[in-house]
């Protein structure tokens, strides 16, 4: 700028202080566009005015334009690098971009410049929580509270830290304190509901969720969390209305539920895809700084990494343990990457033995875990979690590996552009349903589900009397989680009990509140409560498998089928009757039944499901022939042939790798059956 121009500008009749005060007033009134216009006007004359630069960045932050916010705040910090408030604001924008390590640096600089800065200390706690540093997060919250005893947000964040540490009573106490200070704190009521549910104080939990809905009905994931609690309790009050409201919100791009919370509801595949995309955009957006940038790896073997929080006594691990052991080590190098608790159980020990390398990254941040995968030069990273509760999809968002795959642990699409493939089969995800999936669909030749052909079944089968069952009655059975039971399928079950004299329904026991609600629902449908029998949990899997032999027919749930539970029943010789729908979650049992040679047990409407169940219950010869066929098929059909499955899955991995090496983009494909006799 020339000297004459600077002199002309300095002589303008502009009361900068008054103009700034008015701009701030407009800003505080929420008029962001007008506030920004006024800040720009001042900056036209005073381009290095710190407050205007900083507050202009705050406007962009409030508009969710985080990169531009950082640019403006950085301009302000060039003027005054020691402004703690600007470092705090910069940290907030970086946090929203999921750049947690950089945000932590900004917050710590703000605190260094202003040691008693309670807001920055609280914000630092939020980032520490995001980095899985929960103990430090809790300590930072308490430091903020000591400085500012009426700091409701710090109590809320302290509750979040205690919750992550599984210290539920202390979490609850902090949420209660936050609400006492801020009675309209919807977020605290929501989290309070979750803690009360963890403490099995269910009526209070539901009341807390209800209060949150009354205060802020569109709060992220609130309605889904509330419905999920109700479904776990088999509380179907206004079930259709709850589902409809969630569906309408998702259609309007309001993240009212997590995708997992939809799986057991009537909401369809379009809803699930929209919901997944909303969650990923909010929680796990693709990092602009991808770790794998096209480098070409040259390994003697293809490096496969399976990532999970469930390498422990868990259904996914029961299914996959045999696969790990049967991978062809001449062609594949197998890594198990664990980010869940070590239960020191035999299943975890077996999984460790079954891989070439087992690495615990539970205390790593998503970025740290992703950097590890990149350093290991993993060719194909397999996510076994999807959008379940312990997801670490943020690892995959960094793109640490050239090929990234969703498999087994989650019954739906992740909605993430950085997950290239999903492992399925032609029944699970038929061709006309593939557009509901963000990932490219890979169809295995039989069933998508791994199974362990070596799972033991206890030789001792308890008597029906020992199991609390009548000796001579027809026993319908469903060992699915109670949250999968919906009022429409329960109505079918009750009609079957009325039609089949003396029959009983054997269910896996859940919470006492759920049992009480099911008993009331049965009575309201004219069924005596003694026709419902609840099986307690047993400690050993082999004993659980053995007791299946006391039942006559497994009745599947509708929207969220039996998955590993169906495999349990079929492995133990118990026929499974299912009703398949349009979603992945509703087609799993059908996939398994096709692969075990019993396609006639797959129905596609509740009317047909009910009719076939009644036929089987009334025709012992027909049901007996199916049981004998299942017993004969168990050791010869594809479902329980772990070696065959391993070769099919490896063929899928090899095709993915070959496409990548040619420079081809991911595309769906069908894996041809492999003749094991010829290799």
Tokens representing 113 are: 């410049």
pLDDT of amino acid 205? 98
Handedness of CA 370, 372, 374, 379 (dihedral sign): negative
Q: How far apart are CA 153 and CA 257, in angstroms?
A: 23
**C-alpha dist (Å) from residue 260 to 235, 275, 678:** 18, 9, 42
Do the Cβ atoms of 192 and 186 come closer than 8 Å?
no
Chain-centre distance for alpha carbon 524: 35
pLDDT surpassing 80 at residue 527: yes
pLDDT of amino acid 500? 98
Q: How far apart are CA 433 and CA 445, in angstroms?
A: 17
pLDDT of amino acid 12? 30
Lowest-confidence region among 96-100, 108-112, 179-183: 96-100
Q: How far apart are CA 322 and CA 466, in angstroms?
A: 32
Ordered structural domains, the chain, with CATH = 302-444 (3.40.50.11380), 475-640 (3.40.50.2000)
Determine what percent of the chain falls in helix, strand and coil, rounding each to the nearest 5: 55, 10, 35
The mean pLDDT value of the chain amounts to 95
Residues ≥6 apart with Cβ < 8 Å to 373: 291, 305, 337, 381, 395, 400, 401
Question: What 3-state DSSP class applies to 449?
Answer: coil
> Residue 5 — very low, low, confident or very high, per pLDDT cuts 50/70/90?
very low
pLDDT of amino acid 17? 85
Handedness of CA 361, 364, 369, 375 (dihedral sign): negative
pLDDT surpassing 90 at residue 1: no
pLDDT surpassing 80 at residue 569: yes
pLDDT of amino acid 15? 75
Give the residue among 167, 166, 171, 169 at the shortest CA–CA distance from 155.
171
pLDDT surpassing 90 at residue 534: yes
pLDDT of amino acid 11? 29
Q: What percent of the chain has pLDDT over 90?
A: 95
pLDDT of amino acid 16? 79
Edge-to-edge strand list for the sheet holding 403-406:
357-360, 332-338, 302-308, 380-383, 403-406, 421-425, 440-444, 669-670
Identify the bridge partners of residue 384 per DSSP, sorted by sequence position.
Answer: none
pLDDT surpassing 90 at residue 449: yes
Is the pTM higher than 0.85? The answer reads: yes
pLDDT surpassing 70 at residue 676: no
> Residue 677 — very low, low, confident or very high, per pLDDT cuts 50/70/90?
low
3-state secondary structure 162-230: HHHCCCHHHHHHHHHHHHHHCCCCHHHHHHHHHHHHHCCCHHHHHHHHHHHHHHCCCCCCHHHHHHHHH
For 43, other C-beta atoms within 10 Å of its C-beta total: 16
DSSP codes of every residue in 92-108: HHHHHTT-HHHHHHHHH
Which pLDDT tens digit goes with each residue over 627-662? 999 999 999 999 999 999 999 999 999 999 999 999
pLDDT surpassing 50 at residue 8: no
Which pLDDT tens digit goes with each residue over 266-281? 999 999 999 999 999 9
Which pLDDT tens digit goes with each residue over 63-72? 999 999 999 9
Q: How far apart are CA 32 and CA 61, in angstroms?
A: 11
**C-alpha dist (Å) from residue 493 to 341, 522, 523:** 38, 9, 13
pLDDT surpassing 80 at residue 678: no
Which pLDDT tens digit goes with each residue over 396-432? 999 999 999 999 999 999 999 999 999 999 999 999 9
By CB atoms closer than 10 A (0-12, 13-18, 19+), residue 582 is middle
Tell me what the mean pLDDT of segment 244-263 comes to: 97
Which pLDDT tens digit goes with each residue over 590-635? 999 999 999 999 999 999 999 999 999 999 999 999 999 999 999 9
Give the residue among 437, 612, 464 at the shortest CA–CA distance from 533.
464
Task: Give me the half-sphere count of Cα atoms (radius 13 Å) on the Cβ side of residue 41.
Answer: 16
Backbone angles phi, psi at 359, to 5 degrees: -130, 130
Tokens 């794998």 -> residue: 292
């Amino acid at each position: 700028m020339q000297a004459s121009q600077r002199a002309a500008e300095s002589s303008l009749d502009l009361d900068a202080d008054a103009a700034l005060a008015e701009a701030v007033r407009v800003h505080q009134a929420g008029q962001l566009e007008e506030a920004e216009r006024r800040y720009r006007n001042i900056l036209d004359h005073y381009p290095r005015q710190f407050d205007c630069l900083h507050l202009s960045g705050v406007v962009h932050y409030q508009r969710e334009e985080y990169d531009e916010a950082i640019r403006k705040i950085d301009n302000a910090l060039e003027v005054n690098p020691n402004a703690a408030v600007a470092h705090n604001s910069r940290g907030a924008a970086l946090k929203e971009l999921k750049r947690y390590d950089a945000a932590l640096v900004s917050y710590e600089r703000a605190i260094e410049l202003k040691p008693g800065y309670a807001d920055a200390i609280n914000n630092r706690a939020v980032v520490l929580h995001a980095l899985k540093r929960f103990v430090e997060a809790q300590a930072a919250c308490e430091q903020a509270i000591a400085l500012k005893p009426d700091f409701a947000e710090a109590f809320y964040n302290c509750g979040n830290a205690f919750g992550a540490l599984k210290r539920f009573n202390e979490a609850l106490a902090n949420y209660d304190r936050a609400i006492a200070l801020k009675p309209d704190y919807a977020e605290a009521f929501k989290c309070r509901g979750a803690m009360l549910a963890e403490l099995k104080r269910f009526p209070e939990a539901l009341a807390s969720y209800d209060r949150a809905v009354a205060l802020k009905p569109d709060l992220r994931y609130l309605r889904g969390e509330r419905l999920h609690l109700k479904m776990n309790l088999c509380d179907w009050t206004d079930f259709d209305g709850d589902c409809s409201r969630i569906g309408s919100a998702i259609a309007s791009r309001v993240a009212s539920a997590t995708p997992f919370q939809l799986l057991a509801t009537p909401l369809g595949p379009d809803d699930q895809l929209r919901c997944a995309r909303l969650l990923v955009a909010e929680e796990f957006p693709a990092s602009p700084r991808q770790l794998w940038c096209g480098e070409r790896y040259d390994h003697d073997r293809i490096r496969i990494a399976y990532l999970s929080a469930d390498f422990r006594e868990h259904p996914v691990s029961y299914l996959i343990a045999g696969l790990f052991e049967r991978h062809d080590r001449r062609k594949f190098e197998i890594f198990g990457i664990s980010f869940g608790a070590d239960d020191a159980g035999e299943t975890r020990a077996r999984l460790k033995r079954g891989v070439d390398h087992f690495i615990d990254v539970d205390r790593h941040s998503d970025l740290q875990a992703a950097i590890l995968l990149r350093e290991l030069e993993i060719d194909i990273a397999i996510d076994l979690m999807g959008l379940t509760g312990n997801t670490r999809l943020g690892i995959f968002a960094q793109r640490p590996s050239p090929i990234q795959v969703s498999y087994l642990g989650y019954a739906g699409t992740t909605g993430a552009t950085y997950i290239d493939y999903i492992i399925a089969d032609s029944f699970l995800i038929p061709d006309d349903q593939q557009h509901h999936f963000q990932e490219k669909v890979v169809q295995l030749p039989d069933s998508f589900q791994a199974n362990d052909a070596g799972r033991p079944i206890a030789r001792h089968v308890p008597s029906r009397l020992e199991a609390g069952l009548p000796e001579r009655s027809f026993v319908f059975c469903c060992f699915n989680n109670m949250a999968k039971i919906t009022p429409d399928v329960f109505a079918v079950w009750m009609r079957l009990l009325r039609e089949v004299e003396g029959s009983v329904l054997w269910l896996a026991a859940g919470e006492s509140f759920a049992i009480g609600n099911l008993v009331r629902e049965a009575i309201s449908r004219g069924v005596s409560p003694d026709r419902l029998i609840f099986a307690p949990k047993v400690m050993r899997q082999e004993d659980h498998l053995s007791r299946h032999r006391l039942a006559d027919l497994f009745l599947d749930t509708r929207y969220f089928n039996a998955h590993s539970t169906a495999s349990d029943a079929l492995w133990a010789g118990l026929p499974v009757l299912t009703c398949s729908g349009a979603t992945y979650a509703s087609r799993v049992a059908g996939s398994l039944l096709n692969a075990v040679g019993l396609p006639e047990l797959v129905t596609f409407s509740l009317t047909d499901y009910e009719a076939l169940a009644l036929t089987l219950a009334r025709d012992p010869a027909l049901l007996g022939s199916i049981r004998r066929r299942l017993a004969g098929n168990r050791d010869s059909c594809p479902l329980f042939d772990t070696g065959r499955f391993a070769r099919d899955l490896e063929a899928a991995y090899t095709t993915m790798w070959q496409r990548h090496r040619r420079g081809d983009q991911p595309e769906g494909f069908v894996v041809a059956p492999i003749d094991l006799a010829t290799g």
